[in-house]
Amino acid sequence: MEKDTSRTIVKQAVRFFSGTIISRITGLLRDITMAACFGTTPSVAAFMIAFRLTNLLRRVLGEGAMQSALIPYLESLKKKNIAQAYKFFRDLILIITLFLMGVILCIEIGCALWLSFSPPTSNWKDVIVLTMLSLPALLFICLYGLFSSFLQCEKRFFLPGIAPVFFNIVWIGAAFMLKDLPSMEAMKGLSISLIVAYGMQWLCISGPVFARLSEHIVSWRMKLEIEPVKRLFKPLVFTILGVSAGQVNSSLDPLFARIADLDGPVYLWYAIRVQQLPLALFGIAVASALLPTLSRLADQDDNTYYKKVISGAIHKTVLFMIPLTFLMISLGTSILNILFGHGDFKDEALVQSTWCLWGYMLGLLPMTIVLLYATVFYAQKNFRAPLKASLLSMGVNAGLNTFFVFALSWGAASIAFATSIAAFINQFILGALLKKKGLSPYFRDFIKQLTSIVIASLAAATTTIYIGFKWLGDPTLLIVGNKKAVYNHGFFNQLRTLSLEAFIFLTIGFIAWVVSSYALRSRKS
């Protein structure tokens, strides 16, 4: 077996990336379809809140918590006895399935009783109805997360990355079929289609999982061994609490946005979809590859090598994410315009979505670092540290949201900025805890590279924004100055502006990086 190093982590992340980039492209096509077909209406905003609430349970009970707790535990079982490890996973599938069916049933009954005996206002009633319609999809979402964890332990990253393509295809087809219906009726149909979409996503990866299990399991008759599952329970609870804090933050955001503006959740939705593209393509890809690797290295005595692997992953992430952050901020207006500036998506929606994107992009780097720092703790089966950091950042985020929306009456964009501030605090806490445990990444020999990247990125961003405003009709400076923004519509005009701005950013950035790197080397010598 190939030795685990920072290089192998990158190779595994690239496999995840190669599958994920295809699914993210189809995800962008899905969002473009949504914007063009349905625009920004209170019903669409209600659907997006319902979708985020369902995905809150997905992150808590499925992908986030389950992967963080299961992967280190499964890796340790495989070291002892691979057949017993696979039998444990077989039993876990049944237990999780039965548990999820019970959770879904209880929530559906609770929502039905709420609507019957204490109906909320119409704005919130729509959210509850759409949540009830889409909630059965939770079973397939969580099984997908469970099976993805298994495949990652098998060093198979491409298939889990590409599986969401099937989900996106079903969503896009449903959107086109429903676009001529009244808005709320269309959202109901779309909510039901999510069940089929997530079912297709899970089926895509279930075959290889069952085939691999069958190689080591003689019988599929369910003779449950509860003890190994019970030993997973404690780390899973701590991970659920830690993941819940971050995901509750994410799910509270559209609720606050709904209070600030009925269409606010739509602005946040399209902004975060763009922000999560680089986060998923690189940050989540590296974290997904890092967790199994660190779990295998955790029992070794070579702490220096362990820190070297961590440092290599952190360094590569920072060097990639800093210029990407400046790129997305300086080109954010043009990116949103070419993606969503069509059909029923109006200029005011583009302006508000741009502010939300800027707010989220400020937190791109700390959000990515938090993913990697938390992975280090999970690999060592330390679930309390991420929990503490998540709870504190959750409190900060909720407090800032309350202050910005209720005290200052700011719009949906303030919620995005609050999320980024909370991410910085989360990163600081986890970094301090890593340092206390002697696992802080090496940064001393990294400062020179970091400085040149920051200088180059800042020079590229300011130049791009200025030239874009002066000669390309980019309204970024008008938006910053709170003036009426005029957008270039028509696909070829949008493409011309975005292409030229990207060329300017990359050219100026490369030149500034070469000059700053040379200047720093000369100064040192």
Q: pLDDT tens-digit profile of 100-145?
A: 899 899 999 999 998 888 777 666 888 899 999 999 998 998 888 8
Coil vs helix vs strand at 195? helix
| pLDDT for the residue numbered 335 | 94
Neighbours of 298 (CB within 10 A): 17
As given in the structure block, the two tokens for residue 394 are: 């959750």
Q: What single-letter amino acid sits at 240?
A: I
SS3 of 192, please? Answer: helix
For residue 15, pLDDT beyond 60: no
User: Could you tell me the pLDDT band of residue 1, with boundaries at 50, 70 and 90?
Assistant: very low
Kindly tell me if the per-residue pLDDT of 225 is higher than 80. no
Sequence-ordered list of residues with C-beta below 8 angstroms from that of 85, at least 6 positions apart, any chain? 74, 77, 78
Q: How confident is the model at residue 11 (pLDDT cuts 50, 70, 90)?
A: low
Q: pLDDT tens for residues 479-501?
A: 998 888 888 888 889 999 999 99
102 phi/psi in degrees, rounded to 5 = -65, -40
73-82, 260-269, 396-405: range with lowest mean pLDDT? 73-82
Q: Would you place residue 459 in the very low, low, confident or very high pLDDT band (cuts 50, 70, 90)?
A: very high
| C-alpha to C-alpha distance for 299 and 295, rounded to whole angstroms | 8
Is the distance from CB of 358 to CB of 413 less than 8 angstroms? yes
Which pLDDT score is estimated for 420? 93
pLDDT band for 416, please (50, 70, 90 cuts): very high
- Cβ atoms of 52 and 251 within 8 Å: the answer is yes
Rank 55-69, 232-246, 335-349 by mean pLDDT and report only the highest.
Answer: 335-349
- Specify the higher pLDDT residue, 291 or 271: 271
Structure tokens at 191: 């909510």
pLDDT at position 228 over 80: no
For the cut 60, the answer to whether the pLDDT of residue 3 exceeds it is no
How far, in Å, CA of 286 to CA of 215, rounded?
29
pLDDT at position 66 is 63
Residue-wise pLDDT tens digits, 140-180: 988 888 888 888 777 776 777 788 888 999 999 999 999 98
pLDDT value at 382 more than 80: no
Measure the CA angle with vertex 134, ends 271 and 364; round to 5°. 25
Position 75 scores a pLDDT of 74
More confident residue, 13 or 347: 347
Check pLDDT > 70 for residue 57. Answer: no
Are 309 and 6 in contact by the 8 Å Cβ rule? The answer is: yes
pTM of the model: 0.73
- As a whole number of angstroms, the distance between CA 209 and CA 206 comes to 5
Question: Within 10 Å of residue 432's Cβ, how many Cβ atoms?
Answer: 12
DSSP string, 334-363: HHHHHHH-STT--HHHHHHHHHHHHHHHTT
Residues near 307 by beta carbon (within 8 Å), at least 6 away in sequence:
439, 440, 441, 442
pLDDT at 303 over 70: no
Q: What are the counts of helices (DSSP H) followed by strands (DSSP E) for the chain? A: 21, 0
pLDDT (mean) for 239-248: 57
User: Tokens representing 247?
Assistant: 């995901």
Q: What is the pLDDT of residue 25?
A: 82
Report the alpha-carbon angle 52-199-203, nearest 5. 130
Residues with Cβ within 8 Å of 260's Cβ and at least 6 positions away in sequence, in order, are: 405, 409, 410, 411, 412, 414, 415
- In which band, very low, low, confident or very high, does the pLDDT at 312 lie, cut at 50, 70 and 90? confident
Looking at residue 484, its amino acid is K
Q: Which residue has the tokens 């992975």?
A: 375
Give the confidence band of 386 by pLDDT, cuts at 50, 70, 90: confident
Question: Tens digit of pLDDT for each residue in 280-299?
Answer: 667 666 666 666 666 666 66
One-letter amino acid identity for 385?
A
**Mean pLDDT across the chain:** 81
Q: What percent of the chain has pLDDT over 90?
A: 29
Ranking 23-37, 68-82, 323-337, 379-393 by mean pLDDT, the lowest is 68-82
Residue 224: phi and psi, rounded to 5, are: -65, 135
Confidence of residue 2 (pLDDT cuts 50, 70, 90): very low
Q: Tens of pLDDT along 464-476?
A: 999 999 999 899 9
d(CA 231, CA 142): 20
Q: Which two tokens stand for residue 34?
A: 């949504």
**Cα(92)–Cα(89) distance, rounded to whole angstroms?**
5
Considering only residues 326 and 100, tell me which one the structure prediction assigns the higher pLDDT: 326
Of the ranges 77-91, 225-239, 508-522, which one carries the lowest mean pLDDT score? 225-239
The predicted structure's pLDDT at residue 510: 95
Split at pLDDT 50, 70, 90, the class of 369 is confident
Q: What is the mean pLDDT of the segment spanning 317-342?
A: 91
Residues 17, 161 contacting (CB under 8 angstroms): yes
Burial 307-342 (b: 16+ CB within 10 A, else e): bebbbbbbbbbbebbbbbbbbbbbbbbbbbbbbbbb
- According to DSSP, residue 442 is labeled P
For residue 387, is pLDDT > 50?
yes
Q: Answer whether 204's CB lies under 8 Å from 166's CB.
A: yes
Question: Cα separations (Å) of 61 from 139, 236, 375?
Answer: 10, 9, 18
Lowest mean per-residue pLDDT among 3-17, 83-97, 366-380: 3-17
